[in-house]
Amino acid sequence: MHSSAPNTKFLGIALLLVMFTSLHVNGQYSAYEWEERDEWMDVSRIMQMAGVDKGQTVADIGCHEGYISMYLAEAVGPTGQVLAEDISNYRLERLQDHAKKRDLTNIRTILGTEADPMLPAKTVDIVFVIDAYHEMKKPKAMLLHFRNSLKPGGKIVILEKLKQHVRNKSRKDQTSAHSLGPDIVRKELESAGFKVIKEALDLGDWENNPKKKIWCLVGEYESTEP
pLDDT, residue 174, reads 98
Residue 176 belongs to some domain of the structure? yes
Residue 189 belongs to some domain of the structure? yes
Residue 43 belongs to some domain of the structure? yes
Query: pTM of the entire structure?
Result: 0.86
Residue 6 belongs to some domain of the structure? no
Q: Where are the alpha helices (DSSP H) in the chain?
A: 8-26, 34-40, 43-50, 67-76, 89-101, 139-149, 171-176, 182-191
Range of the domain at 49: 38-220
Residue 134 belongs to some domain of the structure? yes
Can you give the pLDDT of all 226 residues of the chain as single tens digits? 444 445 555 444 444 444 434 333 344 466 768 889 999 999 999 999 999 999 999 999 999 999 999 999 999 999 999 999 999 999 999 999 999 999 999 999 999 999 999 999 999 999 999 999 999 999 999 999 999 999 999 999 999 999 999 999 999 999 999 999 999 999 999 999 999 999 999 999 999 999 999 999 999 997 766 5
E strand residue ranges, 92-135: 107-111, 124-130
Residue 10 belongs to some domain of the structure? no
Residue 225 belongs to some domain of the structure? no
How many domains, the chain? 1
Backbone phi and psi for residue 83, each to the nearest 5 degrees, phi listed first: -100, 105
Q: Output the domain CATH number for residue 84.
A: 3.40.50.150
pLDDT, residue 223, reads 72
Residue 12 belongs to some domain of the structure? no
Q: Is residue 158 a contact partner of residue 217, using CB atoms and an 8 Å limit?
A: yes
- In 10 A of CB 24, how many CB atoms? 10
pLDDT, residue 24, reads 38
